[in-house]
Structure 1
Amino acid sequence: MNGTHWTIICLSYLVGLLFTGVLGFPDSHRSGLQWIVIVTGISSLSLFLAVIIPKRWPTAPRGKFWLGAAMVALSAVVYFQLRVPYPSQNDISQLLKKSPSQTVIVAGKVLTESRLNASLRQSFWLQVNSITQKITPQQSKEETKEVTGKLYVTVPFYPDKKYYPGQSLTIEGILYKPSSRATPGSFNFKSYLAREGAFSGLKGQQIIEEGQPPWGFWLLRKRIVRSQSRWLGTPVGPLISSISIGRQAVDLPEDIRSLFNKAGLAHILAASGFQVVLLLGVVIFFTRNLSPDKQLWIGVGVLIFYVGLTGIQPSVSRAALMGIGGLIGLVLDRKVNRLGSWLLVAVLLLLFNPLWIWDLGFQLSFLATFSLIVTVPPLEQKLDFLPPTISPMIAIPIGVSVWTLPLLMQSFSVVATYSILCNIITAPLVTVISLGGMLSAAVALLFPLGGSAIAWLLYYPTLLLIAIAKFFVNLPASSYAVGKLSVGVMVLIYVGLLAIWLNRWCQKHGKVISLFLLTVVVVPIVISRLTLVQITVLETQPHLSIVIQDRGRVMVINGGDEAAEKYSLVPFLTVQGVNQIDSVIVFDEQKSTLESYLGVKQVLNREQLLKDNKISVGKVEIEVINVKPMIVQLGVADHKWLWLTQGSQPPDDRFRESVDVLLWSGKRLNAEWIERVKPKIGIAVSRFVEAKTRRLFQYQGIKLYWTGKDGAIQWTPKGGFKTSIITEDQDI
């Protein structure tokens, strides 16, 4: 087979892995219909290409070759399924079948270096080998058994206390089931663990026993980070370490991570192709007088060492493999086919771990590299009127954004408005800090004080980088929520981009195609915002939040706390494409923090609502009809909602009118009152609903939803009620 045949085989493997999206990884439920869709889709695509391509490409493969390509794609699907992690019979998660959580003592070995998470606890992965638990909760007798499995562990944070790969630990804590995503747009913790091959977590309360960790690259990372932070402190020192050797090396403060994410600079915090290219450039410069063979071996050695130092991340591994290909081309004195190398590296890495195909970091890394190969060179040619050192700094951010933006929109529903400009302005600083940081790291391995001295020279450039990021983040509309971009629209965008790259006619009409793609994205968003009438009930512990969207106007009735707003309410509003809230009503004593995330026109607190008794925002009417307990009536689109905000039972003599929806805490309700009010729908904001109340609703023919089982509950005039998330394996 020639190069063309191998290229098609590699592409067939990638296409097969992409078809596994039909199976909904990491969801463990598979149906025959899903497999029929996959087989039919791959077969139809193969047949279509077998007919169309030879007509347009006379030297293209024919006949049975395309059948072989289809078999490669189907084999990729099967191989993917074989590599999907499932809990074994002896997996520690099997102990949670009867109870969602229990106090245990586990023993095992640390798999990854501990990191400080957003909750200010240390987190790491633990390979478990035994568990100790009480035979019954009432007995003090304990039982120890051997188990297997991988645990996501968090333990209290103590300064200068970390845990490293290979270290033996015995931890007492609460073993728990990970929760599914209860709110659209929020982090799906259960899915995240499943992707990593873990099906339970441990909230460690104390470390009972710990062993000494064996030697590893973590020792070198620790030496480098200490050296670079010695005279710089936080956050400058850790930021230099993150830029030069990757975020796996250091615990960056949460505010710095958030700042760079919002500015569109998150990629510079992770070691990637940019650092590898700089490193290779330095190696080639200092070995330019050596033979090509020696250059190759020195370069390969440096790249392998750097990959180990950064924690063997997919982005660095990909860049290192491509770098090795470039070095081999240098030795052979041949021009390397960069696109072919890109495809070969993708296949090699996905043969090693096919599950990476659905890793967002992996996807963004390869899209960025693809853009550097096919889009950036033409852009540089159009910018040839600029100095050679300036044009790449402009072309690279634009080219990379073109190919990564659709995926980012589909994944996060938000766009960093000034990210391209911010990347262009900060490019020289990032280059200086990366080179200086890597030089400082190399010196620190031999002479820590020398590494500290070099890092100290980067103090003001790093401060300037932080200041620029803050400037852009603080500009008006620095981030814009666009709403959830559908997978279909995202695929259409990428098809259009590929057509512009491959087809001359499409290149000639590139502006028209780009305008069409932009219209496909923008028009549905505008129409949805102008026509959408929707009420969403969210469980934001310890209370709830209600989001009312009425033809472009948005009202939030918020009873949650600051953490609930940050991790549940704001992600939901982002997915909905909400950038400004017309009114926020806060019933509880705590203050709303939504103004720090989104624009808010007015905030109404409990006292104002009680004083006015009735307020209107657009066509939404809110009326307080009882104070103790506080009961609120909502009127939206001719539908009447009754909300028992406090207590479990309203006074019997006040409510004789029927209501469409009853919203309450899930506690027991009086049967006579329910029969008199006759709600059509009941929504309980609770993990559990008392059994007698459930039977009462069933007897009265009232449809019952509750957030503990159904997640977020949405209502629209045409579609009625639907549950956005149905949590699995819920014990109710």
Structure 2
Amino acid sequence: MERSRSVLWGWAYIGGLLAADEFGLAAAVLHWPSAIAVAAVLAIAGGVAAATIPRRWRRGPQPTAWVTAGAIAALAVIYLHARVPQPGPTDISRLFQPLSESSNGVTAPVNYLVGTVQGRVLTIPRQSRADTARFELAVEEFERRDGPLQTVGGRLYVKVPRVAAADVLPGRTIAVTGGLYRPRRPANPGAFDFSAYLARRGIFAGLSADDAEAIAVLDRAIAPGWWQLRRRISSAFVRGVESPRGETIASVTLGRRATDLPPEVSDRFIRVGLAHVLAASGFHVALLLAAVLAATQRFVRSWRVGIGLGVLMLYAGLTGASPSVLRAAFMGAVVLVAMAGDRKVNAVGSLLLAAVLLLLVNPLWIADLGFQLSFLSALGLLVTVEPIAWWLNWLPVRIAGIVAVPVAVLPWVLPLQLHAFGVVAPYSIVASIITTPLVILVSYGGMLGAAAAAIWPVAGSAIAWIVQFPTLMLLGVVSWLASLPGSTQALGTIASWHMGLLYLAIVVIWQFARVRRVWPLVLFLAIVSVLVPVVVARATLQQVAVLEAGREQVTVVRERGTVAVLVDVAPERGNDDEAVERMRVRATNVATYTVLPFLRQQGIDRIDLGVALSPEAAACWSEIAEEVAVGELWTEPLAVGERFALGDSAIAVRQVEPLLLSMQLGTASWVISGDRLGDSQCRSRSLQAAEVLDADVLLWTGSPIDYDWLRALDPEVAIASARSVARCARRQLYRQATDVLWTGRDGALLWTPQGGWETFRSREAIGD
């Protein structure tokens, strides 16, 4: 009875934190009325449970335990909301508070400032995709361009060219010149909420610089820390073997924080469902602990426990003390303590205790996807491996164990993966079975090399040279699996309630023997609940999505099973190599951070028609085609009269200069332009084309529009793929009673024949 009551209270605390996160109470903006309301509902739920459940579950917790559980859940909500980081009175983000008048006569906060920031480096710079480096800075001063020097505080997210961060190390005082900005909330479905991620780390502003000489080192003193040993080990590995083998050994051994693994390599591991191999996790802790216990067999028990605990602490520090590693280290410590006292370990109870203690230290970890996946993976291993291994008793014991582990973990993590990413890796079980022996070899070799490199880097490099051979085999297997058709399948994200129902089914099967007998039926119903909406949407959905991509134009059209994507990338000023590289980076970013996340969220794994509306967009399509199958891809210059079939509809090229496309979808007719519509040299051709077009919707770049052209076209709705719309264009459109929407203000815009227009961002406080 005492144990069941403790378990109930532990789950009540975790459930309260999950409820708070689901209702947005882990966000940076405090809203105590909502927190109190959620807490009250949970407290009432505890009272209802106390009045009903003990009558049916007589051997379970007593009514007072259920009332206490409700109170614990309610307090968990309040505790999490109280722990949400807030900018201090001198935080650098406070510089955005003054208001200025916007172009439509409405006051709006300043979101971008140019100047120089001085502060102390907190983290080692990490490489980003666009050959940039990112790190965190403890801010001390800010000098606005043509403005006074101000004393400020807080933390700042900094992104600079990689070459500029060569001398940036933790503890050094530097000055960075660039653009100070307020991180924006996601503007497209499926986009990562980077502003919320930074807010949970206590960061409410960022600074971006393009100049290779943007950083000046003012004080070269460094702060000692685990990063030095981590850097020493990873540097020894990288010197010992060629890239990316050295970086892969470091990542498999110490996690991705240890080194800058090339993005294309990490992407392949993610695509085949092996992301956990590159992240320090319970698997690595288990291997390390097993090696330590095997190496200390001749020692007395107290020495074995002491050495084991010391190694666990060392490994947790080296890997950056992530929540997943701390959870695994805690459970390893429980095993060692139980071994010292010659006691049995309640594995599930230890996992629950580890989760509760970690979430007491930092309740915001409840929103950390790594923590969630680590906890669920461990739970799946503890409760599911044994029955699956029993079903596989016809195999040799070692092989049955290798097969049982990924099979046991998959059902516990798959609902969360679908909720967060909307994709599955069909080959993940096969990939795990094939690569497990190689991962074990690389992990043990990397651990031995790390120990050697800490003492003598040359020895670490020599060991890395030996370990490169299984690493090369691992990289080859992963590359081969990633190249197979269907290595990643987009099913679309599922709602929170849907994920909750799937986990409820899993828990019921786990806890109740009667239901366990019909688990194939439950599994079938779960699969149907995920696949049927995807199949129906692909076959029947008519939708146009205009995505927010800054200066770029991205339109996704779905016409009853057929998908077309139109991309236009604005040209960069200048023709030098730097301008070409900036344009390529912008095009790649559009694919990586706008198009692909939206396709995953929508469950689109094939594009039937891809069109580059400008030559600059070709780089975007090369990135998209690596992950999504593309049927017909058109990157050549468009010609008048060309038609692209789209289900029962078609996209026709009406004019090239300026570019005009027409499309009929359902009862709505569209005109799409990728060029300026007010240029005098194109006025006559534009006007002539507009007179023969019938447009319900105009999609353009937000630039000025010729008045006669607009009057001839007379659209009902005008959509601008732009951060802002030219004032004269808005004035003309309003005069014609045309509704005006633009992605910079409204975020992504979704249209369906039944529901009309839906904006991704709230229309509150737009003031238009």
Q: What is the TM-score of this pair, normalised by structure 1? A: 0.94
Matched, 1:276 2:285: yes
AA partner of residue 193 (structure 1): L
> For 2:544, what is the secondary structure of its paired residue?
strand
Aligned partner of 1:515 among 511, 524, 530: 524
When residues 453 and 674 of structure 1 are mapped into structure 2, their CA distance, relative to the original with a 3 A threshold, is: closer
The match for 1:627 is 656
Per mean C-alpha deviation after superposition, the further-off stretch among 557-566 and 365-374 is: 557-566
What is residue 76 of structure 1 aligned with on the other side? 76
**What SS is found at the alignment partner of 1:457?**
helix
SS of the equivalent of 2:317 reads helix
Contact 2:35 2:78 in 1 (8 A): no
In the other structure, the counterpart of 1:89 is: 89
What secondary structure is seen at the aligned counterpart in 1 of 2:442? helix
Q: Is the deviation greater in 721-730 or in 475-484?
A: 721-730
Q: Deviations over 1:490-511 (max 9, x none)?
A: 1110000000000111111111
Is 1:602 the counterpart of 2:632 in the alignment?
A: yes
The structural deviation recorded for 1:213 is: 0.9
* SS in structure 2 of the partner of residue 323 of structure 1: helix
**Partner of residue 144, structure 1:** 149
Conserved? CA contact 2:20–2:35, under 8 Å: no
Distance in structure 2 (CA, Å) of the matches to 1:363 and 1:688: 39
Q: Counterparts of 1:530 and 1:688 in 2: how far apart (Å)?
A: 35
Which residue identity lines up with residue 3 of structure 1 in the other structure? R
Distance 2:713 2:247 in 1: 61
2:215 to 204, 207, 210: 207
Distance 1:606 1:438, change over 3 A: closer
Matches within 5 A, 1:606-685: 607=637, 609-610=639-640, 612-649=641-678, 651-656=686-691, 658-671=694-707, 673-685=709-721
Match of residue 613 from structure 2: 587
8 Å CA contact 1:232, 1:459 repeated in 2:
yes
Q: Tell me, yes or no, if the aligned pair for 2:25 and 2:81 is still in contact at 8 Å.
A: no
Mapped partners of 1:485, 1:308: distance in 2: 36
- Structure 2 partner of 1:559: 568
**1:149 offset after TM fit, Å?**
1.1
Correspondence 1:441-480 to 2 at 5 A: 441-480=450-489
2:197 paired residue among 192, 195, 199: 192
Distance 2:343 2:674 in 1: 73
> Hey, what does 2:740 align to over in structure 1?
704
Structure 2 letter corresponding to 1:633: S
1:119-150 per-position Cα deviation (integer Å, ceiling 9, x unaligned): 2112111111222224xx4xxxx522221111
Residue 174 of structure 2 aligns with which residue? 169
Instruction: Note if contact 1:548-1:556 (Cα within 8 Å) is conserved in structure 2.
Output: yes
Instruction: Give the superposition deviation at 1:94.
Output: 1.3
Superposition deviation, residue 727 in structure 1: 8.9
| Residue 746 of structure 2 is aligned to residue 720 of structure 1 | no
**1:136-535 aligned within 5 A:** 137=146, 143-158=148-163, 161=166, 163-204=168-209, 205=211, 206-208=214-216, 209-535=218-544
Q: Whole-Å Cα distance in 2 between the matches of residues 430 and 615 of structure 1?
A: 47
Q: Report how many aligned residue pairs link the two structures.
A: 725
- Identity percentage over the alignment? 36
Q: Cα offset for 1:672?
A: 5.0
1:14 aligns with 2:14: yes
Contact 1:22/1:34, CA 8 A, preserved across alignment: no
| Alignment equivalent of 2:114, drawn from 103, 111, 120 | 103
| Cα 1:106/1:654, change in 2 over 3 Å | closer
**Residues 564-575 of structure 1 correspond to what in structure 2 (within 5 A)?**
564-575=590-601
Unaligned runs of 5+ in 1: none
Partners in 2 of 1:455 and 1:47 — Cα distance?
Answer: 60
Q: Classify the secondary structure of the residue corresponding to 1:375.
A: helix
Q: CA distance change for structure 1 residues 210 and 420 in 2, over 3 Å: closer, same or farther?
A: farther
| Deviation digits for residues 299-326 of structure 1 (CA, Å, limit 9, x no counterpart) | 1111111111111111111111111111
Cα distance 1:273–1:673, how it changes in 2: closer, same or farther (>3 A)? Answer: same
Query: Aligned partners of 1:387, 1:160: CA distance in 2, in Å?
Result: 52
- Work out the CA distance in 1 between the residues paired with 2:325 and 2:282: 6
Is the Cα contact below 8 Å between 1:170 and 1:210 reproduced in 2? no
Shift of 1:196: 1.8
Task: Return closer, same or farther for 1:524/1:243 CA change in 2, 3 Å cut-off.
Answer: same
**Residue 89 of structure 1, CA deviation:** 2.4
SS in structure 2 opposite 1:596?
A: coil
Partner letter of residue 126 of structure 1? L
More displaced 10-residue stretch of structure 1: 628-637 or 513-522: 628-637
- How far residue 25 of structure 1 moved from its aligned partner, in angstroms, is 4.7
Which whole-Å CA distance do the structure 2 matches of 1:71 and 1:539 have between them?
Answer: 43
Matched residues in 1 for 2:137 and 2:243: separation? 28
The SS at the match of 2:203 is coil
Taking the aligned partners of 1:605 and 1:250, their CA distance within structure 2 comes to: 37
In structure 2, the CA distance between the partners of 1:562 and 1:194, relative to structure 1 (3 Å rule), is same
Query: Residue 389 of structure 1: SS of its match in structure 2?
Result: helix
Task: Give 3-state SS (helix, strand or coil) of 1:718's partner.
Answer: coil
Whole-Å separation in 1 of the counterparts to 2:737 and 2:30:
34
Q: Aligned-pair RMSD on alpha carbons? A: 2.3
- Inter-CA distance 168–645: structure 2 relative to 1 (3 Å threshold): closer
**CA–CA separation in structure 2 for the residues paired with 1:281 and 1:397:** 20
